[in-house]
Structure 1
Amino acid sequence: MGAYAIGLLSGDGIGPEITASVVEVLGAAQRHSGSALLRWVRLPMGQTAIARYGEALPAFVKETLRECSGWIMGPHDSASYPPELRHERNPSAELRHGFDLYANIRPNRSIAGIASVARQADLVIVRENTEGFYADRNLFGGDGEWHVTPDVVVTAGVFTRKASERIAHAAFREAVRRRKLVSIVHKANVIKRGYGLFLDCCYEVARQYPEVRVNDYHIDAASALLVRRAEEFDVIVTTNLFGDILSDLAGELVGSIGLAPSLNAGSDYAMAQAAHGSAPDIAGRNAANPAGLLLSAALLLDWLGDRHADRRLRELGDVTERAVYAAIRDGVRTADLGGTATTAEFTAAVTARLGES
């Protein structure tokens, strides 16, 4: 089998620095394993693409990504784009929508040596990624919001059986690999039809996984319990808006959203994308923390390994993840984690621990 083509979209702000770290670490990991599994396909996105093509995500970039096995996306800074582009879907939303990346997978775990509110957490939030109360992903045409008078806005929330069932399957498949518990988070007591459909679909899917325990919580109760007893959760499945909020909360509870990995996955494609933003205030200063994107890349390799039944990819991802955690455990930390390491120094520390992993 030849090398897997991996799209690389460096993005804005700290994006070029942290994607360079991913390339360096995964290159070293492949050398350690004696394989050449990955082939990088570098593509413009964000300010670089705007400067050259007048678009944040040109059509040829999307077409090229269709020929890739998966891709890694750096952060984007949509707020800094020209006014005429700000009304469009941002690059990550455009790819999630265009490639039907319906599952957003966000692991959160307490890390040895990192101060955190939740000290024994190890959970995954599986977020439906295509509908709910996210207007840019609800409709075939239009943005899903209507300004019916100068003082009234109506926003559409869309809930479908198809989307609810497939995200439930994604969550239960994840739980089978872990501690076999799924918690459904919803608001069916108030939004009875929309969240009621979502809740019913999740329980219907649960019957196909008899080995997995299941419970459910209203979003407000789940948020409180996540702060108080995060260690009791295994896999949380929820809708788009709630998943966005809960995953950021969980990231901070275990130490920093800068450490939080994220994978946007569909049936045919997946995109690694760290949960944090573009941090333009530290861009170009060799101060960014690449850990979130490195761990996201490890998730992508695991997904690709499953999709292509290639254990070498899973092993590459596992080695990378363990080297990141080893560097942090050994006290190599960037400024956002209270340390003094530069981006380059953290990258070198991870690379040095690949052999140990």
Structure 2
Amino acid sequence: MTIYRLGVLAGDGIGPEIVRAAVEVFKTAARKTGVDIDWVNLPMGWEGIKHHNDPLPEITTETLKNTHGWILGPHDSAAYPPEHKNKLNPSGALRRKLDLYANIRPAKTMPGIKSVVEEADLVIYRENTEGFYADRNMYNGHGEWQITEDVVLTSGVFTRKAVERIAHAAFKMAMQRSKKVTIVHKANVLRLSTGLFLKVCREVAEQYPEVTVDDYHIDAMAAHLVRRAKDFDVIVTENMYGDILSDLAGELAGSLGLAPSINSNDHLAMAQAAHGSAPDIAGLNIGNPTGMILSTVMLMDWLAERHNDPKLKETGRLVEQGLYQSFEDGVKTKDLGGNASTSDFAEAISERISQSVLR
């Protein structure tokens, strides 16, 4: 039987609390399904600075290369000492160093949770390594230049290789869902850069004749999400547009605090909630662990597919089912109008997992 080695990077702010909650509910589910997981705690953020003078120590990065995947808690890089602020934040550094080119962010309405839209069940595939993000679109250096005190230039990078691989990832997911992909771009203005993104995505689409394809400009897409989110299934777009749209979609579906994601390449995956570290409530045991828990569900699904292990899929299903049942039963954290603490919420999910019946 495979022993799955999963890294645990607790992070900053509410990170240790929500990551602990996620690990606990998955330990409960794994015991029930018979999955053997070795949880490996690794320093990151303030813990890394304290013990290694680095928010992402080399020992952490090197260890992660030999894991099956990992959980990344939120970081508070804005508060790091000056010598660390100019570095890539831990999340960006891991995406870049390990070439985690796909940022996959679902937005789904949930039982018992009030949402802005009546119904949504979509997933955004965000290209994670290029585009207009100056901190990660250059091999060496930084993609912004201050020419004079009053003039700044910035670059956007788009390559066929990067667009092809995120497009293939999106279309493969569409084949497992409703066979519909929406390409988001701004090719009417950024004709060469996002024009290439649109062109290459359209070329990849020809290899998936069963999938229906449409495309929208980024500004129009934001309006369409607000008005008719339920009409979209798989969305593929470049780095910055994907970041913006996924935050919008998460809030429309209920709350950004509920929004999960994974960052992956063909061999490694990192579970990471879409929200920040909320340092103002750190240590109060009131943070909402839902985004972190559902991100870990995504990690289990990703691992299940790559290792052909249905027990991993069942482990994630038990956790997701326990979480939704908790919501339906009125067990919610303070941000959702409830009074459950972070640990209370995790305990409620674990209780429902223990009572559940395996398929």
CA RMSD, Structure 1 to Structure 2 (Å): 0.9
Paired position in structure 1 for 2:20: 20
1:7 to 2:7 alignment: yes
Paired position in structure 2 for 1:73: 72
Code of the aligned partner of 2:305 = D
- Give yes or no for contact 2:35–2:311 (8 Å, CA) kept in 1: no
- Aligned sequence identity (%): 59
Q: Structure 2: how far apart are the matches of 1:323 and 1:130?
A: 35
Paired position in structure 1 for 2:183: 184
Show CA shifts across 1:301-348 (max 9, x none).
100111111111111112211211121122111011111111111001
Q: Structure 1: how far apart are the matches of 2:175 and 2:47?
A: 42
Paired position in structure 2 for 1:212: 211
Q: CA deviation at 1:148?
A: 0.9
Paired position in structure 1 for 2:287: 288
- Give yes or no for contact 1:182–1:214 (8 Å, CA) kept in 2: yes
- Give yes or no for contact 2:105–2:262 (8 Å, CA) kept in 1: yes
Q: CA deviation at 1:146?
A: 0.6
What is the 5 A alignment of 1:237-256?
237-256=236-255
Q: Structure 2: how far apart are the matches of 1:94 and 1:268?
A: 17
Paired position in structure 1 for 2:124: 125
Paired position in structure 2 for 1:109: 108
Paired position in structure 2 for 1:94: 93
Q: SS of 1:229's equivalent?
A: helix
Paired position in structure 2 for 1:345: 344
Q: Structure 2: how far apart are the matches of 1:36 and 1:342?
A: 28
Code of the aligned partner of 1:305 = A
Q: CA deviation at 1:37?
A: 2.1
- Give yes or no for contact 2:5–2:39 (8 Å, CA) kept in 1: yes
Code of the aligned partner of 1:241 = M
Unaligned stretches of 5+ in structure 1? none
Q: CA deviation at 1:60?
A: 1.1
Paired position in structure 1 for 2:38: 39
TM-score w.r.t. length of structure 1: 0.98
Paired position in structure 2 for 1:233: 232
- Give yes or no for contact 1:37–1:313 (8 Å, CA) kept in 2: no
Paired position in structure 2 for 1:328: 327
Q: Structure 1: how far apart are the matches of 2:200 and 2:328?
A: 41
Show CA shifts across 1:140-172 (max 9, x none).
110111111111111110000001111001111
Show CA shifts across 1:279-320 (max 9, x none).
111111110111100000000010011111111111111221
Q: SS of 2:135's equivalent?
A: helix
Q: SS of 2:113's equivalent?
A: coil
Paired position in structure 1 for 2:200: 201
Code of the aligned partner of 1:49 = G
Code of the aligned partner of 2:193 = G
1:143 to 2:108 alignment: no
Q: CA deviation at 1:84?
A: 1.1
- Give yes or no for contact 2:103–2:128 (8 Å, CA) kept in 1: yes
TM-score w.r.t. length of structure 2: 0.98
Q: SS of 1:135's equivalent?
A: coil
Q: Structure 1: how far apart are the matches of 2:225 and 2:245?
A: 9
- Give yes or no for contact 1:4–1:37 (8 Å, CA) kept in 2: yes
Q: CA deviation at 1:182?
A: 0.3
Code of the aligned partner of 1:351 = S
Q: Structure 2: how far apart are the matches of 1:277 and 1:107?
A: 17
Any runs of at least 4 consecutive aligned residues in structure 1 with deviations exceeding 2 A, and if so which?
Answer: none
What is the 5 A alignment of 1:293-304?
293-304=292-303
Q: Structure 2: how far apart are the matches of 1:329 and 1:192?
A: 47
Code of the aligned partner of 1:46 = G
Show CA shifts across 1:32-59 (max 9, x none).
22x1421011000000110111100011
Q: Structure 2: how far apart are the matches of 1:240 and 1:76?
A: 20
Code of the aligned partner of 2:171 = F
Show CA shifts across 1:234-268 (max 9, x none).
01100000000000000000110110000001011
Q: SS of 1:71's equivalent?
A: strand
| Greater alpha carbon shift after TM alignment, 214-223 vs 307-316 | 307-316
Code of the aligned partner of 1:217 = Y
Q: CA deviation at 1:356?
A: 2.4
Q: Structure 2: how far apart are the matches of 1:278 and 1:168?
A: 31
Q: Structure 2: how far apart are the matches of 1:152 and 1:322?
A: 53
